[in-house]
């Protein structure tokens, strides 16, 4: 029997069906090797290999030349290049230390009642048929992060539109839309102006919110720059809601085809172990990039200095070398977490908050839905931030 020769891996040219369910493709490449080189990019599929890249100081977020945004998009470039996720130490360490305490377990515990109130309000008097993303999955986390930042509630829908606009600059979307960076640049400019104005208000009249903390903070004896303040607000807003939106939406899709596990959740409630498993089996972020700062060997493959590395989190989370029966939803699964929230110094700052939002929000949502059915699902072409743009649900009794 002749072995199948896989074509070079790429995040482009996928069918809509494969975008919706990328896991069979990942499985084929992982079965051959934990790391694949294609067109100068190293794609990391294995859990151990992914953990090595994410936790090693040999791999960082800064490219040897250029940056995450093409030239000619000044607002977008200034914003993205100051995001925590694209910074390396020492600046990453300094800036993260400023905001870390606002996302501590104690702060999140104190927020649980407010999360419950927001979720219950969104679920009050649901119509028989509705779009889950528009009605609940998107507004819940963005309302929570808006309160943390001190953004008025009436601006949440506007913030959501700008966040969606920024996502057009992600590599997989931009490859299909020649105007993607124009859309993202316009959204970045709108968000820059909004947060600059709000920061000016907080300097005059500070509050107890995160934006007030940022405008008064100092690192190395100097205040944060305007670019850093704006970028941090936007980064927390986008990263703080998009992953949770995707987890909530995809959890409903997963459970709609896993009725036995759904029944378990209805009877016993949504606990942290269930959240961890739902996040593992269908990751809200499928891939993250790194750059090699030195020659290294990962998964038996030599990675050269200056190379781009794409860590395929969705593949690593289903590595049979790390998880037993990795394609099965097991809400009481033990033996460690997946990599959906990252690892190392770039471990997701808002992971504790996201887990609380999913635990509380999903529990209330399932109670409100009854024996629901999913009528339609739409996915954007995005293999980085991976989640449906629309999930039309019909409530049951």
Residue 260 in any domain: the answer is: yes
pLDDT tens string 42-85: 999 999 999 999 999 999 987 765 555 666 677 888 887 777 77
Residue 3 in any domain: the answer is: no
CA 211, 355, 158 angle in degrees (round to 5)?
A: 45
Residue 327 in any domain: the answer is: yes
Per DSSP, what are the bridge partners of residue 291? Answer: 60, 308
Structure pTM? 0.89
Q: Choose among 9, 3, 48: nearest CA to 27.
A: 9
Query: Which pLDDT value is given to residue 61?
Result: 83
Q: Name the residue range of residue 331's domain.
A: 16-394
Residue 9 in any domain: the answer is: no
User: What CATH code is carried by the domain that includes residue 280?
Assistant: 1.10.630.10
pLDDT tens string 190-249: 999 999 999 999 999 988 888 888 888 877 778 888 888 888 888 888 877 889 999 999
pLDDT tens string 3-51: 568 999 999 889 999 999 999 999 999 999 999 999 999 999 999 999 9
Residue 346 in any domain: the answer is: yes
Enclosing H/E stretch for 32? helix 23-32
The pairing of beta strand 296-298 with beta strand 129-131? unpaired
Residue 2 in any domain: the answer is: no
Residue 294 in any domain: the answer is: yes
DSSP alpha helices (H): ranges in 257-286? 259-268, 272-281
Residue 5 in any domain: the answer is: no
Number of structural domains the chain divides into? 1
């Amino acid at each position: 029997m002749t072995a199948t020769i896989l074509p070079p891996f790429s995040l482009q040219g996928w069918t809509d069906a494969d975008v919706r369910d990328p896991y069979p493709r990942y499985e084929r490449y992982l079965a051959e090797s934990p790391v694949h080189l294609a067109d100068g990019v190293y794609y990391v599929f294995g859990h151990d290999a992914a953990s090595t890249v994410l936790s090693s100081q040999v791999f960082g977020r800064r490219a040897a030349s250029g940056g995450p945004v093409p030239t000619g998009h000044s607002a977008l470039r200034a914003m993205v290049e100051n995001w925590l996720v694209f910074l390396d130490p020492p600046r990453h360490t300094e800036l993260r230390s400023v905001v870390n305490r606002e996302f501590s377990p104690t702060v999140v515990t104190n927020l649980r009642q407010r999360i419950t109130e927001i979720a219950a309000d969104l679920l009050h008097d649901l119509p028989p048929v509705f779009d889950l993303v528009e009605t609940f999955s998107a507004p819940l986390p963005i309302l929570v992060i808006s309160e943390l930042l001190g953004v008025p509630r009436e601006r949440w829908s506007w913030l959501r539109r700008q966040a969606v606009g920024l996502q057009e600059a992600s590599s997989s979307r931009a490859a299909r839309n020649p105007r993607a960076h124009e859309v993202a640049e316009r959204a970045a400019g709108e968000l820059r102006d909004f947060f600059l104005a709000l920061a000016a208000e907080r300097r005059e009249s500070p509050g107890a919110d995160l934006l007030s903390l940022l405008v008064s903070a100092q690192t190395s004896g100097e205040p944060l720059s305007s670019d850093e303040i704006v970028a941090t607000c936007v980064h927390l807003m986008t990263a703080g809601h998009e992953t949770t939106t995707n987890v909530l939406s995809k959890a409903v899709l997963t459970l709609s085809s896993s009725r036995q596990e759904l029944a378990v959740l209805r009877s016993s409630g949504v606990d942290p172990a269930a959240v961890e498993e739902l996040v593992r089996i269908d990751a809200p972020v499928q891939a993250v990039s790194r750059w090699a700062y030195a020659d290294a060997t990962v998964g038996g493959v030599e990675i050269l200095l200056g190379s781009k590395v794409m860590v395929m989190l969705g593949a690593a989370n289903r590595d049979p070398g790390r998880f037993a029966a990795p394609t099965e939803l097991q809400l009481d699964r033990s033996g460690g977490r997946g990599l959906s929230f990252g690892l190392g110094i770039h471990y997701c700052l808002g992971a504790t908050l996201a887990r609380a939002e999913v635990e509380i929000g999903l529990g209330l949502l399932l109670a409100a839905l009854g024996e629901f059915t999913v009528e339609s699902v739409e996915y954007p072409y995005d293999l980085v931030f991976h989640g449906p743009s629309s999930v039309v649900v019909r409530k049951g009794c």
